[in-house]
Amino acid sequence: MEAMRQLQAKRVVIKVGTSTLVYPDGAINLRAIDQLAFVISAMRHHGREVVLVSSGAIGVGLNYIGLKQRPKAIPEQQAIAAIGQSELISIYKERFAVYEQKIGQLLLTRDIFVYPKSHQNVMNTFEALLAQNIVPIVNENDTVAVDELDHETKFGDNDQLSAVVATNIDADLLIMLSDIDGFYDGNPNGDTGATLLSHVAKVNQATYTLAGGTGSRFGTGGMVTKLKAAERMIKADSQMVLANGADPTIIFQILAGEPVGTLFG
């Protein structure tokens, strides 16, 4: 039997992918959102500081206006993100209220972390929210973040955003919930011999060679973006766990040190 893990988890960033929040048919997974609110509220009540980085704005927006496919035009995507983000935060507020936990919303772009003054301002906001026992819910500001702008505003995906946030606020641990059980030494969808790696001490070119492909049709992330996030966490002397978010209560197992998913670092 695999040994229990030793994790530092006083300040934790949880990243939840669209695949956890939105069913493959586009419907909102209210059960998963409720479980997420329950787990995070329990963590807060036990003295942990928690930041939630949540994807799902476009997925929820598509469901809200009855579209099955993400449009290709950027302005249309941004409009759907604006609709979906307000709906998503309303659902979060409702579910967290059940567990008497207050939340706050931060919509970020990459340049906020580049310019010293805006960087300091957003760090002050994070610290003030956490000091007041409020859970910051973070997403990329999709209504303005596009690659075509003169200065780089886009993180590219919320895997990168979660690692940037985690390293900037000196989080001990990043828990990344996705639609996969962890990191494998092959493609589990096509290779029956692919083995789940419980622990990856460092991320190098060989690690990237094992990864490839993108995620669900509602999301943007793939394994490469998760490895980049893990690499960033390891360089900051922190840890990351990649696990399946189908049941967000898996977070309790992770925090207890159970060998679920893949531990990086």
| CATH number reported for the structural domain that contains residue 91 in this entry | 3.40.1160.10
The answer to whether 219 is a known ligand-binding residue is no
Assigned domain for 5 exists: no
In a domain, 229, yes or no: yes
Percent of the chain predicted with pLDDT > 70 = 91
Hey, is 10 helix, strand or coil? coil
Q: Is residue 218 part of a domain?
A: yes
Residue count of the chain: 265
The 10s digit of each residue's pLDDT in 164-173 is 999 999 999 9
| Structural domain of 99 | 11-264
Please tell me whether 72 is known to bind a ligand.
Answer: no
Q: What is the pLDDT of residues 42-73, one digit of tens each?
A: 999 999 999 999 999 989 999 999 998 888 88
The verdict on whether residue 238 carries a ligand-binding annotation is no
In a domain, 56, yes or no: yes
In a domain, 1, yes or no: no
In a domain, 104, yes or no: yes
Report pTM: 0.91
The pLDDT tens digits for 215-255 are 433 334 478 889 999 999 999 999 999 999 999 999 999 99
Q: Quickly state the pLDDT bin for 1 (edges 50, 70, 90).
A: low
Question: Annotation-wise, does 226 bind a ligand?
Answer: yes
- Asked if residue 90 is part of any domain, the answer here is yes
Q: Does 178 appear as a known binding residue?
A: yes
68 labeled binding residue: no
**Number of folded domains that form the chain:** 1
- Confirm or deny that 179 is annotated as ligand binding: yes
Q: Is 3 part of any domain?
A: no
Q: Is 90 assigned a ligand-binding role in the annotation?
A: no
Query: Which is more confident, 154 or 159?
Result: 159
Q: ∠46-51-55 over CA atoms, to 5°? A: 135
Model confidence at 210, pLDDT cuts 50, 70, 90, reads confident
User: Was 220 annotated as part of a binding site?
Assistant: yes
Phi then psi dihedrals of residue 134, to 5 deg = -105, 140
